[in-house]
Structure 1
Amino acid sequence: MNKLEGLVDLKTGAQRRLIYSDQAIYEQELERVFGRCWLFLAHESQIPNPGDFFRTYMGEDDVLVIRQEDKSIKAFINSCTHRGNRLIRADRGNARAFACNYHGWAFGIDGSLATVPLEREVYFNEIDKDQFHLVPVDNVASYRGLIFGCFDKDAPSLEEYLGDSRWYLDAVLDAMPGGTELIGATQKVVLHTNWKLPVENVCGDGYHLGWSHAGAMKAVQSGDLSGFTVGNSSVDLEGGMSVAGLNGNSVLAALDGRSGYAFYPDPTLALKYLEENRAKAVARLGKFRGEKLWGSQINFTVFPSLQFLPGLNWFRVYHPKGPGQIEMWTWAIVEKAMPDELKQQILDNVLLTFGPAGLFDNDDGDNLASCTVQSRGWRTRQMPVYTNMALGRSGQRVGLPGDIASGIVSEHNQRYFYRRWQEHMQAKDWSEVPQYNINPLEAEHEQRPVQAA
Structure 2
Amino acid sequence: METATLFDFRTGRQSRRIYSEEQIYRLELERVFGRCWLFLAHDSQIANPGDYVRTFMGEDEVLVVRQKDRSVRAFLNTCTHRGNRLCRADRGSARSFTCNYHGWSFTADGALAAVPLEKEAYFGEIDRSKHGLVPVAQVQSYKGLVFGNFDPAAPSLSDYLGDLKWYLDVWLDAMPGGTALVGETQKIDFPTNWKFPVENVCGDGYHLGWAHHAAMQAVQTMDLAGLRAGNSDAAGLDMGMSVAGLNGHMVLAALDGQSGYAFYPNPKPIVEYLEANRATVAARLGAVRAQKLWGSQLNITIFPNLQLLPGLNWFRVYHPKGPGKVEQWTWAMTENDMPPDIKSMILDNQCLTFGPAGLFDNDDGDNLAACTEQSRGWRTAQMDLYTHMAVGHSARREGFPGDIATGLVSEHNQRYFYRRWQEMTGAASWKDVPSYNINRLATEG
Taking structure 1 as the reference length, the TM-score comes to 0.95
Aligned residue in 2 for 1:189: 188
d(CA) in 2 for partners of 1:340, 1:166: 28
8 A Cα contact 2:231 2:410, kept in partner? no
Aligned residue in 2 for 1:39: 38
8 A Cα contact 1:39 1:149, kept in partner? yes
Query: Is 1:63 paired with 2:30?
Result: no
Query: Is 1:128 paired with 2:127?
Result: yes
Mapping of 1:57-136 within 5 angstroms?
Answer: 57-136=56-135
d(CA) in 1 for partners of 2:316, 2:437: 24
Aligned residue in 2 for 1:343: 343
Aligned residue in 1 for 2:300: 300
8 A Cα contact 1:401 1:437, kept in partner? no
What code does the residue aligned with 1:227 have? L
**Counterpart of 1:159 in 2: which secondary structure?**
helix
What code does the residue aligned with 2:373 have? V
What code does the residue aligned with 1:183 have? V
Query: Is 1:227 paired with 2:224?
Result: yes
Query: Is 1:51 paired with 2:50?
Result: yes
d(CA) in 1 for partners of 2:219, 2:130: 56
**Counterpart of 2:85 in 1: which secondary structure?**
coil
Aligned residue in 2 for 1:385: 385
Aligned residue in 2 for 1:408: 408
d(CA) in 2 for partners of 1:144, 1:346: 21
Q: Displacement of 1:124 after TM fit? A: 1.5
d(CA) in 2 for partners of 1:101, 1:228: 56
Question: Cα deviations across residues 254-284 of structure 1 (Å, max 9, x unaligned)?
Answer: 0000000000011011111001101101111
Aligned residue in 1 for 2:322: 322
Aligned residue in 2 for 1:29: 28
d(CA) in 1 for partners of 2:119, 2:340: 55
Q: Displacement of 1:227 after TM fit? A: 2.4
Aligned residue in 2 for 1:263: 263
Question: Cα deviations across residues 303-357 of structure 1 (Å, max 9, x unaligned)?
Answer: 0000010000110000000000000000001101000100000000000001211
Aligned residue in 2 for 1:358: 358
Aligned residue in 1 for 2:200: 201
**Counterpart of 2:439 in 1: which secondary structure?**
coil
d(CA) in 2 for partners of 1:227, 1:190: 30
Mark the CA change 1:236 to 1:401 in structure 2 (over 3 Å): closer, same or farther.
closer
Q: Displacement of 1:5 after TM fit? A: 2.4
Taking structure 2 as the reference length, the TM-score comes to 0.96
Q: Displacement of 1:400 after TM fit? A: 1.5
What code does the residue aligned with 1:248 have? G
d(CA) in 2 for partners of 1:219, 1:144: 36
Query: Is 1:369 paired with 2:369?
Result: yes
Aligned residue in 2 for 1:447: none
Aligned residue in 2 for 1:159: 158
What code does the residue aligned with 2:62 have? V
**Counterpart of 1:439 in 2: which secondary structure?**
helix
Q: Displacement of 1:228 after TM fit? A: 4.8
d(CA) in 2 for partners of 1:109, 1:162: 29
% of aligned pairs identical? 67
Query: Is 1:171 paired with 2:170?
Result: yes
Question: Cα deviations across residues 151-180 of structure 1 (Å, max 9, x unaligned)?
Answer: 001100000100000011001110000211
Q: Displacement of 1:30 after TM fit? A: 0.2
Q: Unaligned regions of 5+ residues in structure 2, if any?
A: none
Q: Which moved more, 1:232-241 or 1:190-199?
A: 232-241
Mark the CA change 1:351 to 1:438 in structure 2 (over 3 Å): closer, same or farther.
same
Q: Displacement of 1:236 after TM fit? A: 8.8
What code does the residue aligned with 1:388 have? H
8 A Cα contact 1:402 1:437, kept in partner? no
Q: Displacement of 1:235 after TM fit? A: 7.0
Q: Displacement of 1:300 after TM fit? A: 0.2
d(CA) in 2 for partners of 1:201, 1:119: 53
8 A Cα contact 2:230 2:407, kept in partner? no
What code does the residue aligned with 1:336 have? N
d(CA) in 1 for partners of 2:194, 2:146: 21
